[in-house]
């Protein structure tokens, strides 16, 4: 009887040198959640819950949901107060379908400035605490974990971002405060600090891990590390594994929180790579990430979340990004598994 691994590869054959799977989206994969050794999730918006095709694919392959944006401050905090209709619906949908729920995001540098503008220092602190208590408290017992602080490190990795939270509450102090308030509101949730380009940019990855160390030394109840893993498929082999190894040294659970891998090259000279070559790179980077993550001890693996169900659901396929050709996720518009799905499946079997 041929192994599942040989079936995955044999039906399509090998591609160019160094490739380990076919670029053709015609090789079936088992339900991803059935072969993953940890939670495998995706993101959702309420409009997608009414799409039968999306729902069918999500329920077949995933067992955890992260609200894509409707649990963030830009949605919940309005001039008239808090609105919870959309995140409530996602939470209820997860409960009804036996899906775990991951909450994101309580504090993000890019949100909240207008709503907090003009507050006195005392009112600013009170409203900061009140927001975290209201949101984290509302879903206490319903979420496995929270992204408490999102994208704190500067884009180039040179220090931390400067923004209204830091200006009003302190560069490190606002993060410590956010973790403390989240812990009070939802004591059992795993509390994450989350960021992107940590594998792609070693300098940013190092700055991020130094920030984790600073927060822990300051007594912040950081419970986990989230790496978004929007992977650059052209980074050198071994770079992803190195970051996973370094992040694991804290002993905290790691969450691969927003995984995708664009086959496009942004900026620079015209991209003359063939589709097959780019697909090989994509497959190899996804396989490296998944293999390195799967080798961690069980208590360090919170789960792996893909940032969308189908390619057409991806933020990378929305204007102005979409050229109609990118395939950054596990399934294409026709629900066929892509090289991403096959890299995951091979790593897990």
Q: Is the pLDDT of residue 1 over 90?
A: no
State how far the Cα of 249 lies from the Cα of 304, in Å rounded to an integer. 19
Read off the pLDDT band of 271 (50, 70, 90).
Answer: confident
pLDDT for 8 equals 36
Contact 102, 64 (CB under 8 A): yes
Read off the pLDDT band of 258 (50, 70, 90).
Answer: very high
Tokens of 207: 């700055």
For the chain, give every domain's residue range.
4-308
Strand extents, DSSP E, the chain: 40-44, 64-67, 77-78, 81-82, 100-108, 145-150, 190-195, 224-227, 230-232, 254-262, 301-306
Segment (H or E) for 127 = helix 121-138
State how far the Cα of 345 lies from the Cα of 62, in Å rounded to an integer. 13
The per-residue pLDDT of the chain, averaged, comes to 92
pLDDT for 26 equals 55
Q: Is the pLDDT of residue 103 over 90?
A: yes
Q: What is the pLDDT of residues 318-342, one digit of tens each?
A: 988 777 889 999 999 999 999 999 9
**Parallel, antiparallel or unpaired: strands 77-78 and 81-82:** antiparallel
State how far the Cα of 345 lies from the Cα of 347, in Å rounded to an integer. 5
pLDDT for 330 equals 98
Residue 314 gets which letter from DSSP? S
Q: What is the pLDDT of residues 54-82, one digit of tens each?
A: 999 999 999 999 999 999 999 999 999 99
Cis ω before 105 (30° cut-off from 0): yes
pLDDT for 6 equals 35
The Cβ-side half-sphere exposure at 97, using a 13 Å CA radius, reads 20
In angstroms and rounded to an integer, the radius of gyration of the C-alpha atoms of the chain is 20
Contact 176, 220 (CB under 8 A): yes
State how far the Cα of 271 lies from the Cα of 248, in Å rounded to an integer. 35
Q: What is the pLDDT of residues 137-154, one digit of tens each?
A: 999 999 999 999 999 999
The domain 4-308 is placed in CATH, from the list 3.40.50.150, 3.30.70.100, 3.20.20.80, 3.40.50.2300, at 3.20.20.80
Q: Which residue has the higher pLDDT, 183 or 1?
A: 183
């Amino acid at each position: 009887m041929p192994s599942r691994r040989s079936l995955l590869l044999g039906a399509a054959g090998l591609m160019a040198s160094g490739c380990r799977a076919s670029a053709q989206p015609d090789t079936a994969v088992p339900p991803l959640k059935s072969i993953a050794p940890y939670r495998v999730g995706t993101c959702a918006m309420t409009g997608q819950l009414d799409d039968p095709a999306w729902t069918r694919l999500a329920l077949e392959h995933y067992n955890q949901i992260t609200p894509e944006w409707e649990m963030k401050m830009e949605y919940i905090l309005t001039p008239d107060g808090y609105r919870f209709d959309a995140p409530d619906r996602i939470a209820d949908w997860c409960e009804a379908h036996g899906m775990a729920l991951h909450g994101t995001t309580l504090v993000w540098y890019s949100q909240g400035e207008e709503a907090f503008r003009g507050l006195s220092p005392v009112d600013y602190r009170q409203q900061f605490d009140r927001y975290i208590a209201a949101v984290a408290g509302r879903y206490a017992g319903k979420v496995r974990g929270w992204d408490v602080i999102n994208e704190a490190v500067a884009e180039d990795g040179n220090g931390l971002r400067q923004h209204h939270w830091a200006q009003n509450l302190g560069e490190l102090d606002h993060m410590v405060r956010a973790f403390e308030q989240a812990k009070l509101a939802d004591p059992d949730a795993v509390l994450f600090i989350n960021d992107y380009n940590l594998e792609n940019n070693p300098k940013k990855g190092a700055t991020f891990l130094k920030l984790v160390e600073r927060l822990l030394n300051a007594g912040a109840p950081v419970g986990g590390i989230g790496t978004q893993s929007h992977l650059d498929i052209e980074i050198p082999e071994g770079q992803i594994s190195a970051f996973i190894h370094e992040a694991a040294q804290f002993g905290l659970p790691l969450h691969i929180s927003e995984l995708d891998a664009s086959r496009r090259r942004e900026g620079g000279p015209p991209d003359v790579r063939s589709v097959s070559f780019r697909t090989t790179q994509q497959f190899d980077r996804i396989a490296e990430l998944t293999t390195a993550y799967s080798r961690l001890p069980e208590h360090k693996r919170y789960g792996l979340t893909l940032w969308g169900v189908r390619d057409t659901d991806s933020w990378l396929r929305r204007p102005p990004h979409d050229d109609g050709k990118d395939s950054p996720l596990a399934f294409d518009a026709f629900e066929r598994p892509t090289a991403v799905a096959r890299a995951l499946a091979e790593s897990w079997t």
